[in-house]
Amino acid sequence: MSRHFTEPQMRPPQEAHSLLLYATQGCTYNKCAFCYVSRGYPFLSVSKEELASEVAQTKGRYPATTRIYLTGSNPFALPYERLAGYLAVLRQAYPHFERVSMQARIGDIEQKSDEELAELCRLGLSRVYVGTENGSDRVLSLMNKGQTAEEIVCQLQRLDRAGITYACFYILGMGGRGAGVESGRATAHLFNRVHPVFISTTGLTIFPGTPLADMVRNGTFTEASEREKLEELEVFLSELTTDTFYDGIHYLNPMNFRLAVRDRKAVDEALAEIREALATMSDEELELMVGRRFMNSL
């Protein structure tokens, strides 16, 4: 770990068995209304030499074919030259690594040329995790995401052409009360135009100290109920057709499913479970399934 870093390491659930290496701390944007993770942490990055020192301490504990995850809210914001240097260090230490992954914002992808994206892929960057969050421009603006649906599609299609795979995050309930159907439909239509390896959902949870918590206090945002989040998920899965994998096992989801979208039987079974819950459970029972009101942090 860089001696300057104070932010704890975080990773997607899918990187549970990967070698975690510090790359950056903080977020270059840090303005999303719902996010508290990197607030209070200045954006810092390790040098190539610091990464090499960190990697040296892991030798012998991971196989040459290990998966590697570079931690930080958006290491992909770093210049191409820095990222290429990181990949060279990793290739030397783990010449047969399975993949290198990191998180990226849409704006980070936009800053790289097509040639740089293709070269990063050639050097071993094989996956980025992207916080797309929603497909509705109105909702993206409400949460101050700094990106539009069309910008998301454009940049993800550039990753497709470069050969870099990507996984996308989608937050159910991000539009607040009354926006579930709009969000579910718009987000499905967005993903139907691109090719994520998987889509992972969570349910919006309002944490203290965020701009969103202030919006709730001043009456400019009303949280969607768990029923509305489930209705949004129903619309989303009903209209999602892209060949991808849906991963909804995070505990902040109103219900948990894992399925390949091409497996229509599995999709239909999930939809039947959602509709059964909506038809038979009271609002209070649905709220207690997650217990979101009692959460203060991840």
The proportion of the chain whose per-residue pLDDT surpasses 70, expressed as a percent, equals: 96
Tell me the two tokens of residue 138. 């109105």
- Sequence-distant (6+) residues with CB within 8 A of 207 are 34, 36, 213, 295, 296, 297
Alpha helices in the chain (DSSP H): 48-56, 80-93, 106-110, 114-123, 137-142, 149-162, 180-191, 211-217, 226-239, 264-280, 283-290
- CA–CA gap between residue 135 and residue 31 (Å, rounded): 18
Give me the CATH code for the 13-293 domain, please: 3.20.20.70
Helix (H, G, I), strand (E, B) or coil at 45: strand
| Spatial separation of the C-alpha atoms in residues 117 and 135, rounded to whole Å | 24
The pLDDT confidence band at residue 292, using thresholds 50, 70 and 90, is low
**Residue 278 contacts by C-beta under 8 Å, 6 or more apart in sequence?**
227, 230, 231, 234
Question: In the structure, what pLDDT confidence band is assigned to residue 7 with cuts at 50, 70 and 90?
Answer: confident
Q: What is the pLDDT of residue 6?
A: 81
Domain boundaries, the chain: 13-293
Residue 298: per-residue pLDDT: 47
Q: Are strands 245-247 and 258-260 parallel, antiparallel or unpaired?
A: antiparallel
CB 198 within 8 A of CB 245: yes
Which tens digit of pLDDT belongs to each residue from 101-146?
999 999 999 999 999 999 999 999 999 999 999 999 999 999 999 9
pLDDT (0 to 100) of residue 135: 98
Give the side-chain half-sphere CA count within 13 A for 254. 28
CB 187 within 8 A of CB 135: yes
Q: Is residue 200's pLDDT more than 90?
A: yes
Confidence label for 8 from pLDDT (cuts 50, 70 and 90): confident
Overall pTM > 0.85 = yes
